Chain A
């Protein structure tokens, strides 16, 4: 298959179109402007709808409208903008509507910086908006994966009738790499008989709503949503193991830091430390079970979590490892990317303590 060179943000946009996304609603914010810019030209050319909304709130509610009427839709933003979208994401989850939300993360909190960061981990993996729900969170570490996961995201969203978040850091959005457009086998998906798209000959009207004003119906609805949470936990967990077969020191990282960790592990092996990388691809559901197995191996002496945030995924690593082995942490934040040598030093320090 022919390899093409694509910039991350544009590749995500094109992947969405190829996955049958028919609408894109966005609002400018750095560093993801290439997505709405690409969509503004190519979405109408492919017969779809592009609107530059008046705000992130409006954009996500346009996605809600499209999804409610049965159409594949996406929005993208970066950290502060995604905070604004949380209202809509909660409503999408509540109304069981499929949609894809891309977050190309920048430094925070507040306006923060415009450089790559991972400070939105908690927000993305714990639901983000109000109420009891989760979204599947996909974290690409290279452009090929960004393309593959974007396309998959629409299928996952449709299968579970739940919003899916593609959580990339600014570097993934900005970098270029070769990719191939793979032949996809789309999932077998249920028909959208629930959509409010015009009643036609249906014997009832479809009413998309999340208001269940009496407690028993609201609880019943929550339990219904929770069944899907359990299903998604069972079916959608993904991760990658790099140099892990004989590893004694395990680096845990996602997105750009996982690549830094990979290079650090290669270097460390030349220095006599058998390091490997555990890379979650889904941040929710988190691959707890596999990480727990790894923690139970005799040869594994300890873990080092590497993030572009100050110990957010660390919580999940600790939940998985459950004090079976020491878990250390190295993070940069605010737009700073950990350097390979910094990570090597952090591993060397940790190794002294755990070996």
Chain B
């Protein structure tokens, strides 16, 4: 098993953070994982992206030319990375703010209205968690229970009240990502 995913969006949309979540969950499942951020002037431009690799074997190259999945949280991300997805791969599109459709026919497109769902749940900050749910459901890369346990660990003490909200966001995202 090997997943090579590029996650991209505006700074503040939490793409780096769900990238880290994928690594944490992979580690919890005794898999190998790596996370490489873009850094430097790119960051200052407002777009953030990271490359996450999850594998049941030793990870070689930590950057990928043809990712198995791309997670695009904004329009620029889709424009930049759609062409890079490996044939047969999957593109996750935050359809709340990306009006475009995936033009390639050799990849699967998963449209997730992350911001709309987050607003419905009353907290726009959980849009990334919706996307994480979609990714997990569509790829089957990681177990649902692992992610749920990770969320429970993420918010402790005063923040513990955020656990149900994030779980709800995750589950709503999973609905969107469920293979048809």
Residues in chain A within 8 A of chain B (CB atoms)? 3, 5, 30-31, 114-115, 171, 174-178, 256, 259-264, 266, 337, 339-341
Contact B27 A3 (CB under 8 A): yes
Question: Roughly how many angstroms separate A266 CA and B58 CA in the complex, as a whole number?
Answer: 11
Residues of A within 8 A of B61 (CB): 259-260, 262-264, 339-340
B23 contacts which of A178, A262, A340 (Cβ < 8 Å)? A178
Q: Are B32 and A178 in contact (CB under 8 A)?
A: yes
Q: Which of B27, B39, B40 meets A178, CB within 8 Å?
A: B27
Are B65 and A339 closer than 8 Å at their CB atoms?
yes
- How far apart are the CA atoms of A38 and B40 in the complex, in Å? 19
Give the distance to chain B from A344, nearest Cβ to Cβ, in Å: 10
Which B44-82 residues have C-beta < 8 A from chain A? 58-65
Given the known inter-chain contacts A5-B27, A176-B23, please indicate yes or no for A256 contacting B32, CB distance below 8 A: no
- Determine the chain B residues whose CB is within 8 A of the CB of A261 once the complex forms: 60
Shortest CB-to-CB span from B129 to chain A, Å, is 19
A31→B40 contact, CB < 8 A: yes
Residue of B whose beta carbon sits closest to that of A177: B34
Complex: chain B residue closest to A341, CB-CB: B65
Residues of A within 8 A of B125 (CB): none
Q: State whether the Cβ of B116 lies closer than 8 Å to any Cβ in chain A.
A: no
10 contacts between A and B (CB under 8 A): A3-B27, A5-B33, A30-B40, A114-B40, A177-B59, A256-B62, A261-B60, A264-B60, A339-B61, A340-B60
In the bound complex, do residue B60 and residue A176 qualify as a contact, i.e. CB atoms below 8 Å apart? no
Give complex CA distance A150, B65 in Å.
31
Q: Which residue of B lies closest to A3 (CB)?
A: B27
Besides A5-B20, A176-B23, 7 more A-B contacts (Cβ < 8 Å) are A171-B36, A176-B36, A263-B61, A264-B60, A264-B61, A339-B63, A339-B65
Chain A residues lying within 8 Å of B58, measured Cβ to Cβ, are: 262
Cα–Cα, bound, A31→B43 (Å):
13
Closest chain A CB from B36 CB (angstroms): 5
